[in-house]
Amino acid sequence: MNLTDHRVVVTGAGRDFGRAVALRFAELGAEVFLAARTQEAAERTRAEILARGDTRAHAFACDLADPASVRAFARAVGERTDRVDVLVNNGARWLAEPDLLSASDEDVVDTLASGATGTVLVTRNLLPLLLASERPDIVTMVSICGVPNASHPTAHEAYHAAKHAQAGFTESLSRRLRPRGVRVISLFPPDFDTPDILSPEWDAAPDGPQDPLTAKSLLDCVTFAIGQPRNCYINAFHFEPA
């Protein structure tokens, strides 16, 4: 797959799956726009991309819980490109607590703001650039926590609420944007293994029918979906827990 003509925005690109997405898209030739909560985290991923010989990478700070930060990020992207072909909404705060009372009010607000409000505002502010593309795709990392009646052993209720908000947003957005040629793709994975994409474990991880889901397999689903003909709308990937 060759993405040399694609311009891709990735939120939460400073670590874990978001970092893997950024490195993989850059490897495929895309120009990548990396957002992380701090400039330093985004710059670390950008430095890794540059070290591999992929030169078209830009780093930005974007606090998804802060609307002003989201707006500033979108403006900065718009100053460097006239379109966005793929937006990967990966950034969101994880909150694991044993019960509702164990998290502070501030933790609850930040979790909901980054996962729910942040996803909506990033998409809203980058939508004009997406509509300028001939092949716009919006990919959102939701979670099995956004599936009705699904449960997670450690996820806090605020995290479940944020993920259900993301699921509702992307479902409505898909219907609204399909007539305009924008594909909206949501991912609903259970917990998955995320080895370092730059380590031998990335390609060596087993992927048999009894093996747990890995970040590599999940990322393969993303590249598969955006590589399909434009009349192929893959609305969501739902994954069975191992």
CATH code, domain with 83: 3.40.50.720
pLDDT at 55: 81
pLDDT at 66 over 80: yes
Spatial strand order of the sheet with 57-61 comes to: 57-61, 31-36, 7-10, 86-89, 137-141, 183-188, 236-238
* Rounded Cα distance, 173 and 98, in Å: 33
pLDDT at 242 over 80: no
Check residue 60 and give its pLDDT: 98
Mean pLDDT to the nearest integer, 90-114:
92
Q: What is the pLDDT of residue 112?
A: 96
pLDDT at 101: 87
pLDDT band for position 28 (cuts 50, 70, 90): very high
Residue 102 lies in a domain: yes
Give CA–CA dist 82/55, Å, rounded.
19
- Write the CB contacts of 2 (distance below 8 Å, at least 6 apart in sequence): 28, 29
Q: How confident is the model at residue 163 (pLDDT cuts 50, 70, 90)?
A: very high
Report yes or no on 230 lying in a domain.
yes
Residue 185 has pLDDT above 80, yes or no: yes
Average pLDDT of the chain?
A: 95
- pLDDT at residue 54, as a whole number: 82
Residue 31: inside a domain, yes or no? yes
Give me 13's structure tokens.
Answer: 């690109």
Tokens describing residue 85: 């072909």
Catalytic residue selected from 17, 25, 73, 159: 159
Rounded distance between C-alpha atoms, residue 175 and residue 76, angstroms? 29
Q: Is 233 a catalytic residue?
A: no
Question: Which amino acid, residue 181?
Answer: G
| Domain, as residue range, for 12 | 7-238
Mean pLDDT value across residues 68-80: 98
148: left (phi over 0), alpha (psi -120 to 50) or beta: beta
The answer, yes or no, to whether residue 151 has pLDDT greater than 90, is: no
**What gap in Å lies between CA 214 and CA 193, rounded to an integer?**
5
Query: Is residue 1 in some structural domain?
Result: no
Q: What percentage of the chain has pLDDT greater than the value 90?
A: 86
Is 55 contained in some domain? yes
pLDDT grade for 115, boundaries at 50, 70 and 90: very high
With a cut of 80, say whether residue 77 has pLDDT above it. Answer: yes
Look at the chain and report how many structural domains it folds into. 1
What is the model's pTM?
Answer: 0.95
User: Is 37 part of any domain?
Assistant: yes
pLDDT number for residue 98:
82
**Within 13 A of 132's CA, how many CA atoms are on the CB side?**
11
Residue 43 has pLDDT above 90, yes or no: yes
* pLDDT above 90: residue 145: yes
Give, as one character, the DSSP assignment of residue 146: G
Mean pLDDT calculated for residue range 208-221? 92
Whether 23 shows a pLDDT value over 80: the answer reads yes
Residue 2 lies in a domain: no
User: Is 159 domain-assigned?
Assistant: yes
